[in-house]
């Protein structure tokens, strides 16, 4: 395993990728430090050119191709971020690029990949479907296939992130790294251990696509039957067999994170750091809250920020509901003038903000006895929500909390 992933190779890759990457200096996070009990820093690869770390591995890999390979053109499969990295790197090298993407890929990633000069083909529901099609086209058209993660040269390029982390924070204790197919975690963990074996590197997977956790438990690469997660960039069925031995050797642990945790973390990043981070990039933020509070120096790698507006809107709404900042109550009222005003006054007295009303006169056959009023309310959080609901109950309205629909 020492054949390719060496300190010399990482140093060469670091110098090479600087030709196209932007500097993503560490951001200390007092908010997350207070939340976790550790000293937290963020490595904001969401601010990288093309919006993700993937440019590093793609550019380094393409820089190692022969002129004959470049002349034939390159092809890859990707859920989006690697696609943009390959497209950008190939255009920079003057080569044709073809990218096969799952049909579920967010529109923003498709359009940006085209914008960087690639020909895009949509195929299949998950990455593995797209990969199989890309391999077929590579053979048919003589294109050079650029693996998104199962390649040691690509992994070396991704590992330049770890080199930058230790240069800026030499005493880092723990690095949290997102895991999809394993290229990023392979590069980061291998460099970290070569540089300083005491640095802990922890991989983070979505619980709905935890292929590395399953593989490590089995002792060999395991292919999941399906992947179901909002972290689309890490919705991979199996880790790469070429990078897996490095992951076995160099990762200290793997944490799995539920999708609901990512929704809350999106709000944390927007409100406290003014940054848009895609769901896969939020894995490490969520995982930081699973670590013991020991005052350690912890770096969370934010792997990307390419999120389409529709997904963003959905995540924000669900995050606000999840944290009790938007909620809906149902009250039954006699159909008499002034009842709506009474309910509104109670909410106003508690500093709640009404954002939607639904008045249903047909909930009962006796309208004089009861009509239903559903009120969607904005609050400061769970304690304020409880205060408003309590005030409505004390006023005799017997509120029931129901599912919010915005």
- Summarised one tens digit per residue, pLDDT across range 344-358 is 999 999 999 999 998
Asked whether the predicted pLDDT for residue 367 surpasses 70, the reply is no
Given the residues 97, 189, 303, 330, the one annotated as active site: 303
Residue 274 burial (CB < 10 Å; 0-12/13-18/19+)?
Answer: exposed
Percentage of the chain beyond pLDDT 70 is 97
Q: Which CATH architecture has domain 7-52+152-319?
A: 3-Layer(aba) Sandwich (3.40)
Given the residues 54, 61, 131, 289, the one annotated as active site: 54
In sequence order, the β-bridge partners of residue 309 are: none
Q: Tell me which of 52-56, 76-80, 120-124, 156-160 is least confident.
A: 76-80
- List pLDDT tens digits, range 233-246: 898 889 999 999 99
Q: 131 catalytic, yes or no?
A: no
Tell me whether the CATH fold assigned to 7-52+152-319 matches the one assigned to 54-145: yes
* Cross-sheet strand order for the sheet of 74-77: 119-122, 97-101, 74-77, 144-145
- Provide the pLDDT confidence category of residue 365 given band limits of 50, 70 and 90: low
- List pLDDT tens digits, range 284-343: 999 999 999 999 999 999 999 988 888 888 999 999 999 999 999 999 888 788 888 999
Strand ranges (E), 45-94:
74-77
CA atoms within 13 A on the CB side of 10: 24
Which contiguous run of DSSP H or E holds residue 358? strand 353-360
Q: 303 catalytic, yes or no?
A: yes
Pairing relationship of beta strands 371-378 and 326-333 according to DSSP bridges: antiparallel
Full DSSP string of 150-169: S-HHHHHHHTHHHHHHHHH-
Asked whether the predicted pLDDT for residue 108 surpasses 80, the reply is no
Residue 52 to residue 72: CA distance in whole angstroms:
26
Q: What pLDDT does 307 receive?
A: 87
Residue 86 to residue 382: CA distance in whole angstroms:
45
Asked whether the predicted pLDDT for residue 2 surpasses 70, the reply is no
Q: What pLDDT does 109 receive?
A: 80
In sequence order, the β-bridge partners of residue 101 are: 122
- The answer to whether the beta carbons of residues 277 and 264 sit under 8 Å apart is no
- What class, spelled out in words, does domain 54-145 have in CATH? alpha beta
How many C-beta atoms surround the C-beta of residue 111 within 10 A? 11
Average the pLDDT over 247-265 and give the result.
96
- What class, spelled out in words, does domain 324-402 have in CATH? alpha beta
Average the pLDDT over 125-150 and give the result.
92
Q: Where exactly are the structural domains of the chain?
A: 7-52+152-319, 54-145, 324-402
């Amino acid at each position: 395993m020492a054949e390719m992933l060496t300190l010399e190779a990482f140093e060469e890759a670091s110098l090479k990728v600087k030709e196209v990457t932007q500097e993503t200096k560490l951001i200390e996070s007092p908010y997350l430090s207070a939340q976790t009990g550790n000293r937290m820093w963020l490595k904001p690869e969401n601010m990288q050119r093309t919006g993700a770390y993937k440019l590093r591995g793609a550019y380094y890999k393409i820089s190692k191709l022969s002129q004959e390979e470049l002349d034939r053109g390159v092809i890859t499969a990707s859920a989006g971020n690697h696609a943009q990295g390959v497209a950008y790197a190939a255009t920079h090298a003057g080569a044709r690029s073809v990218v096969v993407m799952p049909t579920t890929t967010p529109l923003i990633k498709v359009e940006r990949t085209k914008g960087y000069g690639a020909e895009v083909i949509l195929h299949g529901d998950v990455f593995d479907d797209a990969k199989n099609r890309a391999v077929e086209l590579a053979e048919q058209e003589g294109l050079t296939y650029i693996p998104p993660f199962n390649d040691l040269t690509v992994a070396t390029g991704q590992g330049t992130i770890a080199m930058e982390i230790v240069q800026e924070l030499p005493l880092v204790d723990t690095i949290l790294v997102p895991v999809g197919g394993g290229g990023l975690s392979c590069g980061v963990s291998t460099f970290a251990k070569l540089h300083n074996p005491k640095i802990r590197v922890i991989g983070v997977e979505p619980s709905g696509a935890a292929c590395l956790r399953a593989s490590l438990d089995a002792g060999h690469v395991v292919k999941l039957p399906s992947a179901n997660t909002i972290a689309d960039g890490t919705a991979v069925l199996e880790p790469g067999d070429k990078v897996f031995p490095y992951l076995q050797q160099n990762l200290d642990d793997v944490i799995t994170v539920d999708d609901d945790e990512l929704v809350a973390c999106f709000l944390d990043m927007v409100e406290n750091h003014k940054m848009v981070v895609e769901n896969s990039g939020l894995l490490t933020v969520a995982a930081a809250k699973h670590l013991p509070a020991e005052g350690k120096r912890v770096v969370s790698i934010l792997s990307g920020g390419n999120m389409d507006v529709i997904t963003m809107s959905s995540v924000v709404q669900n995050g606000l509901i999840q944290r009790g900042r938007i909620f809906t109550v149902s009250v039954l009222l006699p159909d008499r003038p002034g009842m709506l005003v009474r309910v509104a006054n109670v909410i106003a007295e508690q500093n709640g903000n009404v954002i939607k009303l639904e008045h249903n006169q047909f909930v009962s056959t006796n309208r004089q006895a009861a009509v239903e009023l559903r009120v969607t309310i904005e609050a400061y959080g769970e304690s304020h929500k409880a205060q408003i609901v309590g005030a409505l109950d004390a006023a005799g309205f017997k509120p029931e909390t129901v599912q919010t629909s915005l």
